[in-house]
């Protein structure tokens, strides 16, 4: 196979990764006097802040995904290739993929992060992460399948293992999925499974630090914990998951919790490509200068979660947030065009627009630069911001309809167990 990128007199910008960072730089460069090659292992852009809603049957995967070819349908200078990048060859200015080698004049690494299991093979084998739409869908299948199995199990211990859910990680993802599961336990699941006693279902959130929502204000963290406990979530602070065998979670104090479902929402590591000098890799992220250029390279850049830029306000790198990735993508696009036109380039300066997290129905926390608030208005604000951040009018409309339906009916109607067949011989 060959990538078959057409020859062009224009400079070629190869972008690896179609997340927030990669998509934004590609959009800003589309229609300009450059040739763009956008490489991703998927043919769609996905919206990570709403993965937990797919996992809890609130949204379909298609509602938070958008085809890349649709985004660039009328941009003739953008060439999309669905491929796996194997390594980078800076000496020859090539990206080596499973389709073959792709030459570049400028290389932009926007590969984001993946789940970090910190070397624990058992947790990696049995826990369920949420770093992609497919993993969120897998978690949805697991949770619903467990409830179905709980109807037929022979012992109370086995039933509790199927009902109980442990979430490791008290960041926004862990808080949001814990709160949503608690809402479902109260309003949805008893209607679907009247034979099960959901008062016995335990939802436990583990956080290794002294507070949940550690990247947010003390006020937001305190309210987040209060809201979770109000919903019946057991919050364990200063507690880490040490091991997991598929049936028992072992904590760092050797306590064991019976559960068949451990959601791993803690720890990320940069998707660093082979071929990049290990000397510029700092704690799993690629070290860049104030223009997002990778140190010791003249035409390789890294943006978004995979990069780390040390500045006075963020000596250990910017927070791994969508807004950082979006802003870096837009700034780098301008700088590449400025470089080609012999104009002055501008250093990246992060404009903090705030952060937010939803905890449950009518419950959220919002930290804006000059204003912090919680409760129902914060929840409405969270919904408004995330709704309009989705790509595509159709996705916005379907998501809005789902949210309105769920709100007034106390019901998510997408509780389907959809498991792919591995091969035709399994079809009976």
Given 94, 148, 156, 176, the catalytic residue: 176
The strand pair at 35-40 and 12-16 is best described as parallel
What is the SS3 assignment for 173? helix
Cα–Cα dist 377/364, whole Å:
8
Beta-bridged to residue 307, according to DSSP, are 286
What CA dihedral angle connects 245, 246, 251 and 255, to 10 degrees? -90
Q: DSSP per residue over 255-317, as a string?
A: -EEE-S-EEE-S-EEE-PPTTS-GGGEETTEEEB-TTSBBTT-SSEEE-GGGEE---SS-TT-
- Enter the DSSP assignment of 31: T
The strand pair at 106-109 and 248-251 is best described as unpaired
Cα–Cα dist 249/257, whole Å:
5
Cα–Cα dist 67/79, whole Å:
14
Q: DSSP per residue over 181-214, as a string?
A: HHHHHHHTHHHH-TTS-GGG--EEEE-SSSSSST
Cα–Cα dist 378/364, whole Å:
5
Does 94 participate in catalysis according to the annotation? no
- Alpha-carbon distances, residue 397 vs 43, 348, 388, 394 (angstroms): 22, 34, 10, 5
- The residues, ordered by sequence, that sit 6+ positions from 419 with a Cβ below 8 Å of its Cβ are 141
Cα–Cα dist 6/3, whole Å:
9
The strand pair at 281-282 and 363-368 is best described as unpaired
CA torsion sign for 362, 377, 210, 323 is: positive
Q: How far apart are the first and last CA of the chain?
A: 35
Reduced to 3 DSSP states, what percent helix, strand and coil does the chain have, rounded to the nearest 5? 35, 25, 40
* Residues annotated as catalytic (active site), given as ranges: 176
């Amino acid at each position: 196979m060959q990538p078959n990128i057409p020859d062009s007199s224009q400079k070629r910008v190869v972008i690896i990764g179609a997340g927030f960072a990669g998509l934004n730089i590609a959009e800003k460069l589309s229609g300009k006097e450059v040739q763009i090659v956008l490489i991703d292992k998927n043919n769609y852009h996905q919206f990570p802040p709403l993965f937990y809603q797919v996992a809890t049957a609130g949204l379909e995967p298609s509602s938070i995904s958008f085809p890349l070819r649709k985004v660039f349908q009328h941009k003739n200078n953008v060439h999309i290739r669905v491929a796996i990048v194997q390594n980078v060859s800076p000496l020859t200015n090539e990206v080596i993929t499973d389709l073959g080698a792709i030459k570049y004049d400028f290389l932009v690494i926007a590969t984001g992060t993946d789940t970090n299991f910190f070397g624990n093979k058992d947790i990696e084998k049995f826990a369920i992460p949420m770093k992609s739409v497919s993993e969120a869908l897998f978690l949805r299948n697991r949770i619903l399948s467990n409830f179905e199995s709980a109807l037929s199990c022979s012992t109370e211990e086995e039933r509790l293992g199927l009902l109980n859910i442990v979430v490791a990680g008290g960041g926004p993802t862990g808080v949001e999925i814990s709160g949503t599961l608690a809402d479902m336990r109260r309003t949805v699941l008893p209607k679907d499974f009247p034979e099960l006693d959901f008062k016995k279902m335990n939802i436990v959130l583990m956080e290794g630090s002294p507070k949940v929502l550690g990247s947010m204000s003390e006020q937001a963290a305190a309210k987040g914990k209060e809201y979770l406990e109000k919903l019946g979530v057991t919050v364990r602070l200063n507690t880490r998951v040490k091991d997991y065998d598929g049936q028992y979670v072992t904590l760092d104090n050797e306590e064991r919790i019976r559960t068949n479902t451990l959601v791993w929402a803690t720890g990320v590591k940069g998707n660093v490509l082979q071929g990049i000098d290990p000397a510029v890799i700092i704690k799993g992220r690629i070290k860049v200068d104030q223009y997002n250029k990778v140190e010791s390279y003249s035409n390789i850049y890294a943006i978004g979660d995979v990069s780390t830029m040390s500045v006075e306000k963020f000596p250990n790198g910017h927070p791994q947030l969508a807004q950082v990735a979006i802003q870096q993508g837009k700034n780098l696009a301008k700088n590449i065009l400025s470089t080609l036109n012999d104009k002055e380039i501008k250093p990246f300066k992060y404009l903090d627009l705030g952060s937010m997290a939803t905890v449950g129905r009518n419950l959220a926390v919002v930290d804006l630069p000059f204003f912090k608030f919680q409760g129902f208005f914060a929840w409405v604000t969270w919904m408004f911001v995330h709704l309009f951040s989705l790509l595509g009018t159709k996705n916005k409309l379907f998501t809005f309809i789902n949210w309105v339906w769920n709100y007034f009916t106390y019901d998510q109607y997408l509780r389907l167990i959809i498991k792919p067949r591995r091969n035709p011989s399994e079809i009976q």
